[in-house]
Amino acid sequence: MLDIPLLGLAAFSGTGKTTLLTRLIPLLRERGLRVGVIKHAHHSFDIDQPGKDSYRLRQAGASPVMVVSSRRRAIVYQYDDQGEVHLKDQLPYLAHEDLDLILVEGFKHAAIAKIELHRPRLGHPFLFPDDANVIAVATDAPLPIPCPLPQLDLNRPDLIADFIVHDFLP
């Protein structure tokens, strides 16, 4: 099994998971952490561009296609539709990385520790009452229901980073 701590950011679409991650990751790196991310996509996606060699090679049937430069490496696998994607099946791909933390965007039903992002004005139901894996709720307004978990200010990624470093990581 994976020895790298996993922490999910769980919320409904449009709540700001990616926005928070883009603000949170630099703060965690400033604190000396090596951070990876696994992001769930609900649709097909392309990371290469039509007309580029990697795209053309993949379109020709190559799988995987690896693109390498002095600063980056990307490996693109092409699959037939395999139905629902499960987090546990993705973990071996990062198992040998030298990371202190893997942040997981999406996979809100995975059995991993997670911070629920909640914006009451959006009207979505809470996840924490039915998910014992939620360890905190990050929100931008007072919660309309009692919450026994730590409540974090969604607009203060520095405080969320502190929570991760001091309260979540070993």
Residue bearing the bigger pLDDT, 53 or 22: 22
| Residue 15 structural domain | 6-40+85-168
pLDDT at 1 over 60: no
Does residue 24 share a domain with residue 63? no
Does residue 73 share a domain with residue 90? no
- CATH number for the domain harbouring residue 26: 3.40.50.300
Residue bearing the bigger pLDDT, 113 or 96: 113
Whole-angstrom Cα distance, residue 83 to residue 112?
21
Q: What is the mean pLDDT of residues 73-85?
A: 84
Task: Tell me how far CA of residue 3 lies from CA of 15, 99, 115, in angstroms.
Answer: 29, 10, 20
Whole-angstrom Cα distance, residue 7 to residue 114?
5
Contacts of residues 95-98 at CB distance under 8 Å and 24 or more positions apart, as own/partner, are 95/2, 95/3, 95/4, 97/4, 97/36, 98/34
Q: How many domains does the chain have?
A: 2
Q: How many CB atoms lie within 10 A of CB 143?
A: 14
Q: What average pLDDT does the structure give for the chain?
A: 93
Q: How confident is the model at residue 158 (pLDDT cuts 50, 70, 90)?
A: very high
- Token pair belonging to 159: 């405080």
1 located within any domain:
no
Of 150, 148, 144, 145, the C-alpha closest to 121 is 144
Q: How confident is the model at residue 79 (pLDDT cuts 50, 70, 90)?
A: confident
pLDDT at 48 over 90: no
